[in-house]
């Protein structure tokens, strides 16, 4: 039995593929597809926001803004430029950067009421984190496509090795071997990043 408005078959395993979900949002404004993407990536986007220094409430707001942008711009997604997860995390990161820029440009009405910020270098921390992201992305680019896919599924989508094997249709030992080889290749490139 399929949903008449979207053609989606409940329990259909393809519906859990993020690329399929984005396609359903872009073509039919499928709210259940957005809900599924939110369930998949919302908690990880919030975790990323918290790691980037956002308060809990701000992190929640940025997650909502991220998925509102996904809803509005779903037709702009192209799998040739990267995975759905990469696109969503890029949207979230850019929203956080925009939020920090707006925050730093607020005019002060009365200098006597201005509270001094902590000594934490929020802007420089963000710059450093962006440099780390760029280095990790470049290092991932040195891997074979097969190694990249298992690394992304393991570390970005947090899938267990058995699920990666099932999703890619390869033996569990192959998943572990590709991860080990990828780690050996990435370690010298990234070992100074603790």
**Per-residue CA distances from 40 to 54, 81, 184 (Å):** 21, 20, 29
What pLDDT, on a 0 to 100 scale, did the predictor assign at position 186? 80
Residue range 143-194, pLDDT digits in tens: 888 988 888 888 777 788 999 999 999 999 999 999 899 888 888 877 776 5
Supply the range of the domain harboring residue 177: 123-194
* 149/95 same-domain check: no
Q: Which residues of 4-27 are buried (b: 16+ CB within 10 A; e: fewer)?
A: eebebeeeeeebeebebbbbbbbe
CATH number at residue 180: 1.10.10.10
Q: What is the mean pLDDT of the chain?
A: 79
pTM of the model: 0.49
d(CA 19, CA 157): 13
pLDDT in tens, 96-134: 888 887 776 555 444 455 454 444 445 666 677 777 777
Decide if pLDDT at 57 tops 80.
yes
- The answer for residues whose C-beta is within 8 angstroms of residue 59's C-beta and 6 or more apart is 46, 49, 50
Angle between helices 56-73 and 84-104 (to 10 degrees): 120
In a domain, 1, yes or no: no
The answer to whether position 36 is within a domain reads yes
Structure confidence by residue, pLDDT tens digits, 135-144: 777 878 888 8
CA–CA separation, 186 and 136 (whole Å): 9
């Amino acid at each position: 039995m399929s949903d008449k408005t979207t053609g989606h078959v409940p329990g259909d395993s393809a519906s859990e593929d993020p690329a399929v979900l984005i396609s359903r949002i872009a073509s039919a404004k499928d709210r259940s597809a957005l809900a599924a993407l939110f369930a998949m990536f919302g908690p990880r986007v919030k975790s990323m926001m918290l790691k980037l220094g956002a308060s809990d409430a701000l992190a929640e707001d940025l997650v909502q803004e991220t998925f509102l942008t996904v809803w509005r711009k779903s037709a702009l997604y192209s799998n040739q430029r990267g995975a759905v997860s990469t696109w969503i995390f890029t949207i979230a990161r850019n929203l956080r950067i925009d939020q920090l820029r707006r925050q730093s440009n607020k005019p002060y009405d009365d200098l006597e009421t201005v509270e001094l910020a902590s000594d934490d270098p929020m802007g420089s921390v963000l710059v450093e984190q962006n440099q780390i992201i760029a280095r990790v992305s470049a290092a991932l680019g040195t891997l074979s496509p097969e190694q990249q896919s298992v690394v992304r599924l393991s570390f970005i989508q947090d899938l267990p090795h058995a699920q990666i094997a099932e999703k890619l249709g390869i033996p569990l030992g192959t998943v572990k071997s590709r991860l080990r080889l990828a780690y050996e290749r990435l370690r010298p490139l990234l070992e100074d990043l603790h």
